[in-house]
Amino acid sequence: MNFFDPSGWANGQAFEAARHAQREGPVRWMPGADVLAVLGHAEALEVLSDSERFTSRRGTGLAEAGTTGRSLNLDDPPRSLELRRLLQTVMDQPETSESRALLVQSANDAVSRARVRGDADALNDLAAPVARASFGRLFGLEADELTLLCHLTEGLARSGRARLVQPRADDELRSFLRAGLAERRTGAFWDVGRSAMERGLTTEDAMFLLRLVVQTGHESTAQAIAGAIHAALEHQLPFDSSPHALEEWLRWTSPLIRFARVATRPTTVGAFEVAEGARLVVIFPVVNRDPAVFTSPETIDLQRAPNAHLAFGWGPHACAGARLAKQQLAAVLDALRAVDRPSLSAPPVRLESGVTNGFVRVPLRFG
């Protein structure tokens, strides 16, 4: 079984196969894919921390990225850090009582609407609207811009069923970003793109940065929220939003499946010899169940501490939106705790994707 097969993640076989391989060793050749799968926690830390030995410049997916320009995620420090700092001027805005109130309100509104309907979907009715609204507010996007950007990038992220729509979504997204930069639209989102160009990025590279921001900015969070709701109901656990519980929901859901690095020289990872040019793919859902680090990894322990999960990655490319994602997850769990507990009304439909570990829908019933 190829761990990168999208249908394997939808039916659970890829996860099981990767767990099985983990028992045989923390770094394994992936037959048929010509890459090394990194399955151990210590080995994942080693690969993600050391950008001199393991570069992002040659792509963080399964194949060569083919980028020659400047990028945040497909570049290494120190260059990547300049763009990261640019983004952090938006991401690190302190939470104000107003932004907190708006987040709480959007979570409460989503839960109220779902309760009125009775039947609801944890992903599309609860998680996604909250994730989109708070991403849109943070980046100062107009409602129509937000709707279009989320629609197009959701098509790309949910890549299983998006195989057909992907080229069209990609073209539309590019034209929209190009036009937005040219028209000098206002708001933090467009400011990031323009500031990147003032620092020497080409329009193409600035568009790539904005695309990264939208692609990462709402879908993974929506999947984490839906995954936590599903896990709480399936395992009969409270909608706990305490700091330890949030980390455990993230460990358990691990919404992103993989990111890769390429070895810049002959080296070792753990005891495994790695040739120059080898592609190492970290498989987060499995790394986050490594029994060498997590006691009873197959149990959701909402008090687990320490909890060294890598759901947000690690090192110079660790997730820039982790704080925002946790705030949103907490807001939805709080809103659900305040009402009568819903139940799972049908089996969830899992997403066919080799990148996003999540759902197409999670049917719920209130009342």
Can you give the binding site for ligand HEM, defined by CB under 6 A?
Answer: 48, 56, 60, 72-73, 80, 84, 87, 135, 212-213, 216-217, 220-221, 224, 255-256, 259, 311-313, 317, 319-321, 324-325
Cβ atoms 174, 183 nearer than 8 A: no
Distance CA 296, CA 60 (A): 30
* CB 81, min distance to ligand HEM, A: 8
The token duo for 87 is 């983004």
Query: How far lies 310's CA from each of 48, 159, 241, 252, 305, in Å?
Result: 10, 23, 19, 11, 14
CB of 220 to ligand HEM, least distance (A): 4
Residue with tokens 């709701």: 229
| Residue placing its CB nearer to ligand HEM in the complex, 70 or 84 | 84
* 28: enclosing H helix or E strand: strand 27-30
* Residue nearer to ligand HEM on the CB measure, 8 or 313: 313
Q: How far is the CB of 118 from ligand HEM (least distance, A)?
A: 28
Nearer to ligand HEM, 120 or 282 (CB): 282
320 vs 366, which CB is nearer to ligand HEM?
A: 320
What minimum distance in Å lies between the beta carbon of 263 and ligand HEM? 15
Q: Which is nearer to ligand HEM, 87 or 286 (CB)?
A: 87
Cα 317 to Cα 95: distance, rounded to the nearest angstrom: 23
Tell me the C-alpha to C-alpha distance, in Å, between residue 52 and each of 41, 73, 98, 242, 319: 19, 15, 42, 37, 19
H/E stretch holding 327: helix 322-337
- Output the residue with the shortest Cβ distance to ligand HEM: 321
Cβ at position 131, least distance to ligand HEM in Å: 7
Q: Which is nearer to ligand HEM, 87 or 336 (CB)?
A: 87
As measured in angstroms, the least distance from the Cβ of 196 to ligand HEM is: 12
